[in-house]
Amino acid sequence: MARRVAEFQSNPTIIYSLPMLVTIPPMASKARLLIDCIDSRPIGVFSLVVAEARPIQPRAGWLYVKIALRDRAGAVSSTPIATGIVSGGGQGVRPWYEGRLFPVVNFANRSAVDARGLGLEAKLVKVLSSLIPPGGHLMLDYEHQGQEETFAELALGVPLAASYLGSLMFRAGCRGEFKDWYFSEGGHEGPRKLQANKSPDAASRQRAMRQHLKQLRDFIRRAAPHDRDQAAIMARAQSRARLLVRQFGRQMSPDAGPSRGSLAPRRRD
């Protein structure tokens, strides 16, 4: 059960699918709307549960959220699949989500769930991305247990979109500019994380996609490191890069005309 927040105890309400007494202040109402779209959302054979949501002081409009899993029997996981901060935006800033994914989720009455092996991490990122409008962004922490792959990939110079977490966000629709927050700028940014933006307009979307594809193609041609472990990490990332280029490259091809069997009119000479 979430704690009551002292400043907003006057009108406590029950929110979300777990009994949780907490009042969401008016300035966080936009973030609450985003969280409402997460709770009870199907994800594979499970559904998402907002197990905790509370304001973050002194940040106006930010909500801390803990997301758990519910199985078909109704049991809720004892550990989260994700934690993070949700912002509804404001003052020229579009909505965003910053969080941490957990590849293994524990239940009290059953064996642990391999969230990564079941594709639940990828599905959750798609859910989160669907809540972010053009101009918004997702940020995922890669400096904690369970995300060592992304940490190692970025240390080897893998393009951000080809890293494990980067590719999840890219496939989920965040294909604007990427940023690696590998150091704090002022002390408030927290652990290292990847930021994937949603481009605000068509021109910037095409510009970002061209840049991503160039980086991915250049990376595919890069020679493998001599170290065996590093070579294995590089090979997995290059495999992702090939899949991304194959999937999204044709969209940017200047000579990608109508596909065979399309209804586009033929030119008559």
Question: pLDDT digits over 206-236, tens only?
Answer: 999 999 999 999 999 999 999 999 999 999 9
Last residue of a domain, one of 116, 149, 164: 116
Residue 127, domain member (yes or no):
no
Structural domains counted in the chain: 2
State the virtual CA torsion across 212, 189, 78, 68 in degrees, nearest 10: -50
Assess whether 150 and 108 both reside in one domain: no
Residue 107, domain member (yes or no):
yes
The residue range of the domain holding 164 is: 134-248
Last residue of a domain, one of 116, 147, 169: 116
Residue 261, domain member (yes or no):
no
In this predicted model, what pLDDT tens digit does every residue of 71-98 receive, in sequence order?
999 999 999 999 999 988 877 889 999 9
Assess whether 138 and 75 both reside in one domain: no
Q: Is the pLDDT of residue 9 over 60?
A: no
Residue 50, domain member (yes or no):
yes
Residue 68: the pLDDT is 98
Question: Which of 59 and 47 is assigned the larger pLDDT?
Answer: 47
What tokens were used for 165?
A: 């977490």
Residues in the chain: 269
Assess whether 6 and 78 both reside in one domain: yes
Assess whether 139 and 111 both reside in one domain: no
Contact 118, 129 (CB under 8 A): no
Question: Residue-wise over 116-146: b if at least 16 C-beta within 10 A, else e?
Answer: bebebbbbbbebbbebbeebbbbbbbbeeee
